Structure 1
Amino acid sequence: MEYDHIRAVDPDVADALEAEVERERDTLEMIASENFVSEAVLEAQGSTLTNKYAEGYPGERYYGGCEHIDTVESLAIERAKELWGAEHVNVQPHSGSQANMGVYLAVLEPGDKILSLDLTHGGHLSHGHKVNFAGKLYEVEQYKVDPETGYLDYDEIYEHAVEFEPDIIVSGYSAYPRQVEWERIQEAADAADAYHLADIAHITGLVAAGEHPSPVGVADFVTGSTHKTIRSGRGGIIMCDEEYADAVDSAVIPGMQGGPLMHNIAGKAVGFKEALDPEFEEYAAQTVENAKVLAETFQNHGFGLVSGGTDTHLVLVDLRESHEDVTGKDAEEALEDVGIVLNANTVPGETRSPFVASGIRAGTPALTTRGFDADDIERVGDLIARTINHIDDDDVKAEVAEEVQALCDENPLYE
């Protein structure tokens, strides 16, 4: 990739950008929330739309000169409606967290109640963690997964909802490897007379491709990120029935932000068009298959998995079951040394700090985008296990690093 114009103005930034391209090419990206967008999406996000303010919505802008902006945003909205079957879509949130904020502002008042999954059990900061805006503005209680099975306990969620009487229940998670039964969460919401927000940030692409059941038409609100399994412009999205459209749109602007990032919305539009191609369904299916193979490979090496496997794009390893003295951070750093990038992650029953953690989270979206098939993923799983099993052996790590480079060369990125 060329950065000639940047280099002429700012060589330091150009050097960093080129180094990042090389890092992405020469490492195995396995952070479950990351992916590689196409060069078409990159062009859209780096387009002249970054020059334009467009406060408001298509046909109702506060500034002039927005006719082409309106075209792009309208395309993004219509394509999202087709992908997920939603009645109303807002593509302006800058992130999945801001999409959640938009829903909260639309229907909650400060001090209202949120019921959501505990962060250490797979929830997200924006679902009500005490250090996040949601935890500071609202009263939050959290449910957990079953400590024995690693699965959501829907009966417990129902009982918790009836007792707590939340104003909104949040489903959808950042480190839960199983399919979510949206209807069961909705039953709890109905029993508590609460709204239901389904956050599909991680599984937007899997839902669009039919690889995971959809909460659209079940939950009152569906939010998501647009740069994970859907591989579109970086940002967030809110979907809802038409009855909530005005409240959501007003919450986004003027409620929480001004001008939308139109270059990002252009990236969303292009990425959504790519996702409407039948080949995207093949990609999503391969992503899930690759995650299952990765889970099986880890189990063959004696690693314990939260919930015993996966139905989605990610695998959550509990290192305490096989490597009691190896923390998640130890594993993350050792793997990065050999060119495998994933993250330390808390696990149910966590006793360590989130910065250290007892588990690792590995995802397959980015490697699948590079063309990795099940055989490749099995090799990757073997390399991860080999590194962790010999975490202090520099000779083994050097051998693994060579094999990682070979895999990268066999599946080139941004040629």
Structure 2
Amino acid sequence: MRILSAASILATVPFMVEIMVANRLTDTKIKAIKEPGVYADGAGLYLRMHAAGSKSWFFIYTRAGKRREIGLGGFAGTAPVSLAIARRKADDLRALLAEGRDPHAEKTVRKSGDRTFRKIAERFIADRDDWQAHTRKEWERHLFEHAVSLGDRPIGDIDTDMIEAALRPIWEKKPATGQRVRGKLEAVLDYATAKRMRTGDNPARWSGHLEHILAKASRVTGSNHAALSHENVPSFLAVLGERALERLIKFIVLTAVRSGEARLADWSEFDLPAKTWTIPKERTKTGKELVVPLTDEALAALPEAGEEFVFVEDGEPFSIMAMPNWIAKNKPGVTVHGFRSAFRDYAGDCTDFPREIAEMALGHKVGNAVEQAYRRGDALQKRRELMQAWAEYCLPSPKS
């Protein structure tokens, strides 16, 4: 009887499972085994003789290029697995393989049912006890409806291919929604890593990863951003009407945010009683969450509250070219980004607010790494005062 080393078994597994070798072991041979090692019965079934004298069964197969080993129980003990029982268990596993199923993955789900993507996502949402009902509803819709294919997957097995397969359909039809779903998937997987339920890189991350796989919306590029002088901003705002696109432009001017941050704004990000808008890190240029103070003037620019996106046309966010096209037609030579320049010039030329407050209002990183480490606050109140001054400058009260 031949004794196989672990290395030789792994080297021969790819064809062992596929070729049905005649049963090699017998009860008599098993009882006669005294030397530690691995003994093949055939077609993926093995008996391991441990150094301590015990014997146990296991099954090896290859799926998607990965070798898997499944334990089938001990030959002796309180619940002994005889040769006949081991062969029946091996037959059951071969039947699953023949159906295109993965016994290891299914066993993992059964054994760790609380670690499927859906279960972990539910725990993630439940831990956010400060979320409002509509925020919770949106996360559930995005994770459990748009990413339904991930629901029963063990959280530790989710890879880039699975993420792409889940995102691709929604990405091609509604790219803005696809971006939001991706951000939520990344958050749940980060949560699972922090809870030690998975290891390795996050397959849902964008920068340096999915950005190379999923089509990214084109950007308006140019070496310079034309800007109105801040003196001309009030007259520009005065001609804006009540259409959703014009409201969006006014909102961008009054908050001094980047156009993409406002264009894809979601109602779940707003705390209207507190007059704040929290832009998640997934949607900021710096990769850090930004809390934007909202003046009454900025709040007045918001349309009537809906279920998801704030500024929409026919139920979808405006395209990336909608604002540039409107401004090019009505204010040639000016870009949306130019309003941020106008705000910065106003803050520096017309106010006594410190430079770092204006930079923070624009969502810029302030200072070097040491300064950032020591200044952890977001100066929300000071930024609110600056934005209020800007709003009153842009929308002066009518003279009595």
Q: TM-score, normalised by structure 1?
A: 0.22
Where relative contact order (Cα < 8 A, 6+ residues apart) is larger, the structure is: 1
Higher-Rg member (1/2): 2
Q: TM-score, normalised by structure 2?
A: 0.23
